[in-house]
Amino acid sequence: MRALRKGQASSFNITRDIPGEARLVERAFNLGPGVLAEAVQFISQQLKLQDA
C-alpha cells in the first residue's frame, strides 16, 4: 500500500487510474478475480460490441 502511495507500483498499474490501483490491491491480496478471468471478460465484452 505504501508503494502505491509513493508511486513505486505505478509500472504495474497499466491504466494509471483509481480502478487500476484497486485491481492491483485485489490481485496482491487474492481478493478479486485473477488476470486471466479479467482478460476473458474484457475480450468477451469487446466481441459483443463488435457484433452489435
pLDDT in tens, 29-51: 877 767 777 778 888 899 999 98
Of 45 and 6, the one with more pLDDT: 45
Contact 33, 18 (CB under 8 A): no
The grid coordinates listed for 3 are 508503494
CA distances from 29 to 22, 24, 46 (A): 11, 9, 28
In which band, very low, low, confident or very high, does the pLDDT at 25 lie, cut at 50, 70 and 90?
Answer: confident
pLDDT recorded at residue 37: 77
